Chain A
Amino acid sequence: DAGITQSPRHKVTETGTPVTLRCHQTENHRYMYWYRQDPGHGLRLIHYSYGVKDTDKGEVSDGYSVSRSKTEDFLLTLESATSSQTSVYFCAISDGTDTQYFGPGTRLTVL
């Protein structure tokens, strides 16, 4: 998985609780992305980062925030989890080309 780890790999939480997912890379790539994958929708971009402290919204950013204080770490926070945020979350990295490399994913269930 191109030196990308995600934690936790599985999480079950309750509606209304905050949740933070972590993506860690060892490739020193500048760009990092958070996607969610749902049946019938494919991969949809939530947020992305183009450098430390530089982030921007993707197409499904409502209810999510991100932070990047170090090159290697990109955090995704669900401020108050809802059942519609039950999904598989993937982190991806890029070295500045169009190709992105994905992590193993985090399976999140919101009850």
Chain B
Amino acid sequence: QKEVEQDPGPLSVPEGAIVSLNCTYSNSAFQYFMWYRQYSRKGPELLMYTYSSGNKEDGRFTAQVDKSSKYISLFIRDSQPSDSATYLCAMSAGSGGGNKLTFGTGTQLKVEL
């Protein structure tokens, strides 16, 4: 079983919809949680970064972490066609550049006009 599980999708939604993307994990040592967005044939770009449990909002994006359930979410409000991409969750146990990230396999999102 993988340390981080993520539904691969594809997830197709109409423009303007609220999108919920999720990851579950098994390693209770994970404390730092990230979401990356990856457009087709591009490198992943960091979207959100959170530490421990709680919510973090940035524009139309909200990241939510529930450590008790080992469950993280990314919500996208008022989704746009430009949000069509693959979303990767990532997490690590410690702080610092030497700490390794564990990635989910990514969820492919398509926002349709």
Q: Give the residues from 53 to 111 in chain A that come closer than 8 angstroms, CB to CB, to chain B.
A: 58, 90, 94-105
Chain A CB within 10 Å, residue with most, of B49, B97, B99: B97
Mark the stretch among B9-17, B54-62, B67-75, B88-96 that contacts chain A. Answer: B88-96
Q: Are A105 and B96 in contact (CB under 8 A)?
A: no
Contact A40 B43 (CB under 8 A): no
Number of interface residues of B (CB under 8 A): 27
Whether A94 pairs with B105 at a CB distance below 8 angstroms is: no
Contact residue range for chain A? 20 to 34
| Complex Cα–Cα for A96 and B36 (A) | 18
- Nearest Cβ distance between residue B3 and chain A, in whole angstroms? 10
Closest to A45 in B: B100
Q: Select one of A40, A96, A97, A102 contacting B44, CB under 8 A.
A: A102
Given A31-B97, A42-B104, A45-B100, A98 and B32 contact (CB-CB distance below 8 Å): yes
Q: Is the CB of A42 within 8 A of B98?
A: no
Smallest Cβ-Cβ distance to A41: which chain B residue: B105
Task: Tell which of B43, B44, B101, B103 touches A98, judged by Cβ atoms closer than 8 Å.
Answer: B101
Complex alpha-carbon distance, A59 and B19, angstroms: 32
CB of B105 within 8 A of CB of A42, answer yes
A90 touches B44 (CB 8 A): yes
B69 smallest CB distance to A (angstroms): 21
Residues of A within 8 A of B (CB): 1, 4, 29-31, 40-45, 48, 50, 58, 90, 94-105
